[in-house]
Amino acid sequence: MTRFSSALAIAEAIRTGKKSAVSTIQETLNTLRTQDNDIRCVTHIFESEALEQAQKIDAMRQAGHTLPPLAGVPFGVKDLFDIAGHVTTAGSIVLRNMPPAQKDAAIVQRLKAAGAIPVATLNMDEFAYGFATVNAHYGTTRNPHDPARMAGGSSGGSAAAVAAGFLPFTLGSDTNGSIRIPASLCGVWGLKPTFGRLPRAGAYPFSASLDVVGSFASSLDDLITTFYVMDGSSPAPEPAADTLRVARLGGWFASNLAPALGAALDRVCASLQATNTIELPEVASARAASFLITAAEGGNLHLPRLRKQAEEYDPATRDRLIAGALLPSSTYLQTQRFRNWFRQKIHEVFQNTDVLIAPAVMGEAPLLDEPTIMVDGKPVSARANLGLFTQPLSLPGLPVLCLPLKNTGTLPLGLQLVAAPGREAALFSIARALKNSGLAGCVPLPEKELA
Residue 219 CA to residue 395 CA, distance in Å, equals: 27
Indicate if 184 belongs to the active site: no
CB 139, CB 40: distance < 8 Å: yes
CB atoms within 10 A of CB 59: 11
β-strands 142-143, 139-140: how paired? unpaired
Residue 316 CA to residue 307 CA, distance in Å, equals: 16
Buried b (16+ CB within 10 A) or exposed e, 142-173: bbbbbbebbbbbbbbbbbbbbbbbbbbbbbbb
CB 104, CB 61: distance < 8 Å: no
How many alpha carbons lie under 13 Å from residue 134 in its C-beta half-sphere? 18
Those residues whose C-beta lies under 8 Å from the C-beta of residue 426, and which sit 6 or more positions away, are 238, 239, 244, 354, 355, 419
CB 293, CB 209: distance < 8 Å: yes
Residue 178 CA to residue 309 CA, distance in Å, equals: 26
pLDDT at 4 (0 to 100)? 58
Residue 201 CA to residue 80 CA, distance in Å, equals: 11
Choosing from 5, 92, 154, 173, the catalytic residue is: 154
**DSSP code for 419:** E
- The Cα angle at residue 216 between residues 212 and 218, in degrees rounded to 5: 165
Buried b (16+ CB within 10 A) or exposed e, 24-47: bbbebbebbeebbeebbbbbbbbe
Residue 374 CA to residue 42 CA, distance in Å, equals: 31
> Cα 70 vs. chain centroid, distance in angstroms?
20
> Cα 315 vs. chain centroid, distance in angstroms?
25
pLDDT at 2 (0 to 100)? 45
User: What are the backbone angles phi and psi of residue 398, rounded to the nearest 5°?
Assistant: -80, 155
pTM of the model: 0.97
Domain ranges of the chain: 1-279+351-451
Indicate if 234 belongs to the active site: no
Choosing from 5, 20, 78, 207, the catalytic residue is: 78
Indicate if 78 belongs to the active site: yes
Q: Does the domain made of 1-279+351-451 have the CATH classification 3.90.1300.10?
A: yes
Choosing from 173, 178, 184, 209, the catalytic residue is: 178
pLDDT at 409 (0 to 100)? 81
Residue 93 CA to residue 101 CA, distance in Å, equals: 16
pLDDT tens track, the chain, 451 positions: 445 589 999 999 999 999 999 999 999 999 999 999 999 999 999 999 999 999 999 999 999 999 999 999 999 999 999 999 999 999 999 999 999 999 999 999 999 999 999 999 999 999 999 999 999 999 999 999 999 999 999 999 999 999 999 999 999 999 999 999 999 999 999 999 999 999 999 999 999 999 999 999 999 999 999 999 999 999 999 999 999 999 999 999 999 999 999 999 999 999 999 999 999 999 999 999 999 999 999 999 999 999 999 999 999 999 999 999 999 999 999 999 999 999 999 999 999 999 999 999 999 999 999 999 999 999 999 999 999 999 999 999 999 999 999 977 889 999 999 999 999 999 999 999 999 999 999 977 855 544 4
CB atoms within 10 A of CB 367: 14
Residue whose C-alpha is closest to residue 168's, from 359, 52, 27? 27
pLDDT at 67 (0 to 100)? 98
β-strands 414-419, 400-404: how paired? antiparallel
pLDDT at 250 (0 to 100)? 98
pLDDT at 213 (0 to 100)? 98
Q: End-to-end distance of the chain based on CA atoms, in angstroms?
A: 16
